[in-house]
Amino acid sequence: MSWEKWYPVLLGEMEKQMKISPQISPVHKTDHILRVWTKSKILCEKLKGDMEVMVAAVLLHDLGRHYGLEIHGDKSVELAKPILEKHEFPKEKIPQVLEAIGQHDYTFPAEKRKLLEAKILYDVDKMDALGIIGVYRHILFIEAGRIKMEEVIPMCKKRFEGLALNESKELAKPDYEYIVNFFKDLENQLGGS
């Protein structure tokens, strides 16, 4: 069965889950999932990964984020498993999907992330905090008092350097350079006032 069948089904399930979740994360809604999917699809095709595993992992990876959890991989796995089973997703691929979801938190040890689709999901999820979307997300976090402006560039550098795949770094480089230049310029402008 092709991944195209699963895309609308699992996207619909993700949106249903979000509606019943106790605490919607403003930066992990459908737009985030679709951006992660777009880049994950590019990398998965390029690296000849399993597109069924990839689409399911991407569409369901942040279900636990809407429970107020920053470290949410385990909760996302807990919520994703019954969805996959209900829709009769290929049984032999469910463990891979759950592995990728469970390992996408930044606290999961990189050396234990072996599955290609897990590496792609981890990388692309982290890449969404770069570029123009990253600027928006970081400004929200600054306004909320979660980070300080001077922490953004070092945080983005760590995020970029922590990407698992060279292909991810290649894809992320323009967005990384954009956000670093933006915050350098912003800091310079604010420093001059």
Structural domains in the chain, sorted by start: 1-109 (1.10.472), 129-193 (no CATH)
Mean local confidence (pLDDT), 2-26:
92
What DSSP line would sit under the chain, residue for residue?
--HHHHHHHHHHHHHHHHHH-SB--TTSSHHHHHHHHHHHHHHHHHTT--HHHHHHHHHHTTGGGGBT-SS-HHHHHHHHHHHHHHTT--GGGHHHHHHHHHT-STTS-GGG--SHHHHHHHHHHHHTTSHHHHHHHHHHHHHTTSS-HHHHHHHHHHHHHT-S-HHHHHHHHHHHHHHHHHHHHHHHHHHT-
Residue 130 pLDDT: 95
Q: How confident is the model at residue 56 (pLDDT cuts 50, 70, 90)?
A: very high
pTM comes to 0.93
> Residues 123-148: pLDDT tens digits?
999 999 999 999 999 998 899 898 99
